[in-house]
Structure formats: C-alpha cells, structure tokens
Amino acid sequence: MCSILGAFDLRPGADLRPLRPFAVSLSALQRHRGPDWSGVHASPHALLVHERLAIVDPAGGAQPIRSADGGLVLAVNGELYNHRELEQELHGGYAFQSGSDCEVVNALYARDPDPGAWLDRLNGIFAFALWDEARGRAVIARDPIGVCPLYWGHDGDGRLWVASEMKALARLCEDIAQFPPGHWYDSDTAQLRRYYRRPWREHDATLGAEVSPRELREAFERAVHRQMMSDVPYGVLLSGGLDSSLVAACAARFARRRVEDDDGSEAWWPRLHSFAIGLEGSPDLAAAQVAADALGTVHHGFTYTVEEGIDALPDVISHIESFDVTTVRASTPMFLLARRIRAMGVKMVLSGEGSDEIFGGYLYFHRAPDARAFHEETVRKLDALHQYDCLRANKSMMAWGVEARVPFLDVEFLDVAMRMDARHKMVGMRADGTRRIEKAVLREAFEGVLPDAILWRQKEQFSDGVGYGWIDGLKAHAQRIVGDGELAAAAGRFPVNPPQTKEAYWYRSLFEDAFPGEACARTVPGGKSIACSSPAAIEWDAAFAAAVDPSGRAVAGVHDAALG
C-alpha cells in the first residue's frame, strides 16, 4: 500500500508541468505511507505522484506504471489479490511492464476503456488514478468498502486534485471531500458512478438463505489465504478477541507455504509473528498470549502508558484525520503498535476489522427487534466503515509504513457472509433457555480452532480491551485541560459537528490545529460514535439516546451481563 496524488486540468492550453515541484511537495506530506520510493509523471494535462511501500515485486513495480507505448499512466494505492487470475485471462493482449499486482488495471482498461465493465471484478483494496493520454481522460476509483482512503477537490483555478490523505489537499481545495467507496469518476463525462452493487444489500434478497458453518469457514480461510500475498515480512495483529484470533488461526495454517506460487514452495518467512498492545495488565494482552500459545505464533506483546498515549495524540489525529472519539481512542494504541512493528522489519499485517459489521458484533445488536432491522443495520455499518474502522486501521498503521489488510472485508467472503438470512446471526434464546452470544454463527463455524476462552470471549471494543485505564485517563486529562466555559461555547468555535464532551472538545481542537476550516471538518462524520449515533440503536433501546460515552462498557445491561 502506498500513497497517490494527482492533478488534472483538461482545459485547452493547460500545462501542469510547471506545477511538478509543488505536486511533489504536497505528495511528500503523505510519504510516510510510501517511504520506499517516489515516482512522478508530468504531462500538460496530468500530474501523478506516487509514494511507494513495496510489498509485492519490491525490486520492480515502481509507479506510476506506464503501458508499453506510454499511453496509459497509473498510480495505485492498494493490493489486488486476484491479479494473477486476471493476468492469465489477459495473456497476450497486453505487454506487462512489471511484476506489480496493480498493473492489471492498465491491462483491463486497455482491453475495455469502460471501467464500469470490469471494476467489480477486482478483489482487493485500492484507490487509483489512471490517465489515458490519447483520450485526454482521467479515471479515478476506490475499492468497494473504502479500505484505502481517497480524497478529492478543486483548487482555485478549477483543477481537479486527488490524494490518499486529506493533509495533501487541505490547504489547496476548499471543497475537499472523501471520494466515495465503490464508485468511479470519468473526466470525459464529469460523472461519478457506482460500480459496486450486491443483491444482499436488500433484506428480501436474503430471506431463507442458508450458509453452512463449513461454507462460512472455508470462505474465510480462502480470504485469509488470498491476502497473505507478500514478498516482504508480514504478521498478524492479535488482540485476543474473536476476530483477530480467527485471522491469526487461518494465517497460521497457511504460513509455511508461499502463497505467491500457489503453495508450491516453502514460505520465505515461514514463522508467523503476532503483535498486541495494551496497558500493563490489560485484558487484550492476556487474551492475546492465550491465543498465541494455542496457535504457536511468535508473539510480541507490547505495553504503553496513558502518558505515552496522550503524548502521541497530536500526531495520531494528524495522521488519522478525524476527531471522532471512538476512532481517536482506538487509533492511539494502534499507532504506537505500528511503530514497534515497523521497527522489527515487518511491512504488512492482517487485521480483524469488518467482522462486527457483518455479523452484528456490537453490543447494541442484542436489542435488534427482528431480522430485517438487524440486516439493514449491518448494511448501514458496512457503508460507514470507511469513515471509522477502515480509516483507523489504514491510517494508524500507514503512519509508520505498515500495511493493514482486512480479510473479513474480502469481497468474495462478503458475498457469502452477507447473503445469509440475518435471523441466523441474531442473538436469541436457545431451546435449553441459554442466550446465544453475539456472532455465534461465526464462532460455531470455527469450533475446535481456538481455545474456548478465546472463541467465546465477549465483545470488547479495542479502546476498552487495551485497558480500561486508557479511556479513564483520557477523560481525566480532558477534564483538566478543557474549561467548562470552553465546552459551553463549543458550538460557536466549531459550528460543524460541535463537540458534546470535554474529551471530544480536546480532540476537535487538535484536529483544528492540523486541519483548519469547515471543509476539512465536514469530512468527519458527526455524532457521538458509530454505535451510539446510530438511529437504529437509539430506536431499539432508548438508553442509547442518552449515552454520551461510546465505550462498549457504557452500554448498560449488555457488557459483562451479556443480557443474561
């Protein structure tokens, strides 16, 4: 994973080449995402700058990638896990110039210049800008869920700019916004179009659909196997929760063989390394060690202090480009962990984001009144992931040049897990009178793979699991540094999504220092958190309407008691 920056000016007589030094300076603001090499393409109507993190084909694969005739120029941030299958299909029709998994985008476009015909065939995480010199056409696209970040906007002269992170455009584009996931933009028509559509988005399309535990398990194992594609050392994030432990368990199964040649040879790094972080004595560190011992990973558990986390907060908010309370809380330990991981020479990790959205793992799903409401909320959560957990995982890790991959959000796995009738995912009473825990269908599919203490461990938000003292310490610090009068006047200082608590005010102030102006603030969703701001959650349980704190343990009657 890398960073891209592009500028396009299609007006007659335009010449962007004099802006090359300026574009390079903007791209340098996101070079932490790609510290291995930089590449530039400059032509009269297009500027593309790429900062590379070399994961696949590190010796080659430099970007921007040019076709053999130089007519197509491509800058990509991401990984395409099914590139080999697509390349075999295109064999003989395009002269590949590198071993990069991303060059298949050029090949697909060369065969069919309508991206709407093939974008949905890409299985991966990506944000790209493609320049067609002959047509004078720019094509911009983002992966279906929005795992890879992408922003766009116009400068004062009307030029279109795109960048992987907001910081590259924040002081240039007054209309800066997130480029929507699952969409592509065509400069020929100036239209933004959706390419990612699935029948399972509608509840009625899932009615009565059965997915066996074996089918679910095998689909996830295939997803993990696909995403282990790497020519550099990699590992797994292991919090000791269900999701990261399942990712680690599947990765451990395949780690000894090289995915890049269909498991035909021994892996270059056959021992799987796992990583966890928390305050001294945290629940996650203890659980992660139990999981690691059971799976046989080379485990690295790191500790941090509340003071170290607070010291890092300005950098964290600058990197994640958000002031959402839950996101900031969880991003900080992840940011600190990423620095440790990169110091060990690891450049890619597998992570467990997405499972809670697919299977209704957040504790308020206990209150869902019926399968339709449950399913519709999972779809809403998936649609919002690019503003929360995907943003957190990507930007916290990429702050130190570590790529986070998310097998639960693999598009093929999504098609299996989301077509399941939601009644199978719901919490409910068993025949013996016991209550079925959240994500039971996933747990049951992996019976025997993990110790019961891990397989049936109840949901903890990451910011809780790293140690309850973390959130308490943040609140206490905010109470000391933010005055009552400041909070009372918050709406005047921050008219866009004004903060409701002193902790939120603190984060918003740090965000404003890095990203002044209302346009940047509008890129961050409003509300208290992804859970507590949910209209469905508030409708299901009035207690959510009064909940100011988004921590999982603040959900009365659910955490610990598990609605027993």
What residues act catalytically? 2
- Residues 110 and 96: their CA atoms lie apart, in Å, by 11
Q: Which residues contact 522 (CB under 8 A, 6 or more apart)?
A: 177, 496
**Bridging pattern class, strands 177-178 and 234-237:** unpaired
One-character DSSP codes across 391-403: HHHHHHHHTTT-E
Beta strands in 344-449 (DSSP E): 348-350, 403-405
Q: Are the C-beta atoms of 428 and 61 separated by less than 8 Å? A: no
- Residues 302 and 289: their CA atoms lie apart, in Å, by 11
Least Cα distance to 414 among 436, 449, 381 occurs for 381
- Residues 146 and 150: their CA atoms lie apart, in Å, by 8
* CA-based torsion, 28, 29, 33, 35: positive or negative: positive
User: Would you state the structure tokens that stand for residue 172, as one six-digit string?
Assistant: 């240039």
User: 288-303 burial, b for 16+ CB within 10 Å, e for fewer?
Assistant: bbbbbebbebebbbeb
* CA-based torsion, 393, 394, 399, 402: positive or negative: positive
Q: Are the C-beta atoms of 350 and 403 separated by less than 8 Å? A: no
Q: How many CB atoms lie within 10 A of CB 378?
A: 26
- Residues 271 and 240: their CA atoms lie apart, in Å, by 19
- Residues 185 and 194: their CA atoms lie apart, in Å, by 9
Q: Are the C-beta atoms of 500 and 492 separated by less than 8 Å? A: no
Which residues pair with residue 287 across a beta bridge?
A: none
User: Would you state the structure tokens that stand for residue 349, as one six-digit string?
Assistant: 């990790």
User: Would you state the structure tokens that stand for residue 492, as one six-digit string?
Assistant: 């005047």
Q: Are the C-beta atoms of 94 and 110 separated by less than 8 Å? A: yes
Q: Are the C-beta atoms of 53 and 28 separated by less than 8 Å? A: no
Q: Which residues contact 311 (CB under 8 A, 6 or more apart)?
A: none
